[in-house]
Chain A
Amino acid sequence: MLALDLAFFDWEIISRFIAKGFAFSVELTLIAMSGGIVFGTLLALMRLSGRKWLDAAAAVYVNGMRSIPLVMVILWFFLLIPFLIGRSIGAELSAIITFVAFESAYYSEIMRAGIQSVSRGQMHAAQAVGMTYAQSMRLVVLPQAFRNMLPVLLTQTIILFQDTSLVYAIGAYDLLKGFEQAGRNYGRPIEAYLLAAVVYFAISFSLSQMVKRLQVKIAIVR
């Protein structure tokens, strides 16, 4: 019979092991989300540009990224960097760059669907008052695309938050690593991993409840 002893978990452990890891997981999630949405939108615009080469280049990138397991991209980028630039950039920075590059592919598919959800007439109306293609996109189409896709973008971000735990593969110090270290130091690995699961669940679940409520709100506005 497995005897669980959760009493070892106290404020000292949180401040010594968990806080630092939690901060990095949140940082990684937020940077990957903002970077991913910006680059993802650019990829989506390339795919919808109607220019063959831009479309093809973006399609190869997006489909390529979406066909490779994330953990492999994390590993390969981390191992390749020293060969490319002659020195290591550290697990954390390597993880950030990898996540932005990887998540861009997923966010781009969401933004592409978002742009296509805005009727062609909106682009026509914006151009008819003399705005350029770029102005029409930026001021008329993209704000609507973004609003339409907000729940999906946030859901993707929740998945992203869970996936940040994959940086254990290159030894970056994230939330999961914090729990692992705590468990090792106190000789309670099972309890530590159990608590880690509870924390990931609590955060993801409450965020997705918020997204659900947001979805209802948006449906009313529209």
Chain B
Amino acid sequence: MIEIKNISKWYGAFRVLTDCSTHVSKGEVVVVCGPSGSGKSTLIKCVNALEPFQKGEILVDGISVGDPKTDLPKLRARVGMVFQHFELFPHMSVTENLTLAQIRVLRRSKAEAEAKAAALLKRVGLEAHAAKFPGNLSGGQQQRVAIARALAMDPIAMLFDEPTSALDPEMINEVLDVMVQLAQEGMTMMVVTHEMGFARRVAHRVIFMDHGEIVEDAPKDDFFGKPRSERAQQFLSKILQH
């Protein structure tokens, strides 16, 4: 589904990503972790071309992301993305957040888009908040709306960039529950997160990044059993302490 082949990226002279390769198969859940600044966000944003890369190739459902001939808006419409800071559209109601791209990109009718929005809001437990504006919701509620917004496009895969790290602790679980359910339904997911409980429950593989490199890419049990690299061991012991 997602194939990342030898990706390298520079910001000017600074090399953010070095020769990264991995893949996410259909129905697979891959968790990406690593210290802050190691390039996790950059890598995941390369997958739907929100960030350009200079070397290597990424294929999403067989379509090359870096190819100048690729219709990027069309490709992005098929890949859902959830951001650390939610990034809901603050000038629109919750329902409008969910229907905007359905109407403008997928050309669904307003009624069809609203029906889809209502069903998804119900699914994430927010049907009572449909008419509210994002600014009037808690962080956890906003992030669930953001997940629903991505799902409204019927994506073939979902990308998550630290979806719970901007949340107060008591709101983390309401978001993780939605994500766990998605994973159990067989959604293809690439998730940047430090929530190792989530990784243990639903991940198939875990990737560890450091300094722009993929240091470890292992099945979940191997990774938590005994990471091969010393850097991953240190990282794990640090985040599992608290």
Contact = CB atoms under 8 A, between A and B. Distances in A.
Contacts of A132: 73
Given A124-B45, A124-B50, A222-B135, A131 B105 contact: yes
Nearest to B51: A124
B83 A129 contact: no
Contact of A122 (B50, B81, B87, B153): B87
A79 interface: no
A124 B85 CA distance: 12
A187 interface: no
A195 interface: no
A222 B135 CA distance: 8
Nearest to B106: A130
B85 A129 contact: no
Interface string A128-140: 1111100100011
B150 interface: yes
Interface of B: 45, 48, 50, 72-74, 76-81, 83, 85, 87-91, 100-101, 104-106, 135, 149-150, 153
Given A121-B83, A135-B104, A139-B104, A128 B48 contact: yes
A129 B153 contact: yes
Q: Which of A119, A132, A222 has the most CB of B within 10 A?
A: A132
B76 A125 contact: no
Given A128-B79, A129-B105, A131-B104, 12 more contacts: A119-B87, A122-B87, A125-B89, A128-B150, A129-B149, A129-B150, A130-B74, A130-B76, A130-B105, A140-B89, A143-B91, A222-B135
A212 interface: no
A144 B91 contact: yes
Contact of B76 (A128, A143, A144): A128
- Chain A binding surface SS class: helix
A128 B104 contact: no
B90 A144 contact: yes
- State the 8 A-B residue pairs at the shortest beta-carbon distance, nearest first: A130-B77, A125-B87, A129-B101, A130-B105, A128-B81, A121-B87, A132-B73, A130-B76
A135 B48 CA distance: 17
A130 B153 contact: yes
Nearest to A126: B89
A129 B100 contact: yes
A102 B189 CA distance: 52
Contact of B50 (A119, A127, A144): A127
Interface string A211-222: 000000000011
15 contacts: A119-B85, A121-B85, A122-B87, A124-B50, A124-B81, A125-B87, A125-B89, A126-B89, A127-B73, A128-B79, A128-B80, A129-B150, A130-B101, A131-B101, A135-B105
B76 A129 contact: yes
Nearest to B78: A130
A147 interface: yes
Interface string A99-133: 00000000000000000000101101111111110
A147 B87 contact: no
Contacts of A128: 48, 50, 76, 79-81, 83, 150
Nearest to A129: B101
Nearest to B153: A129
Nearest to A140: B89
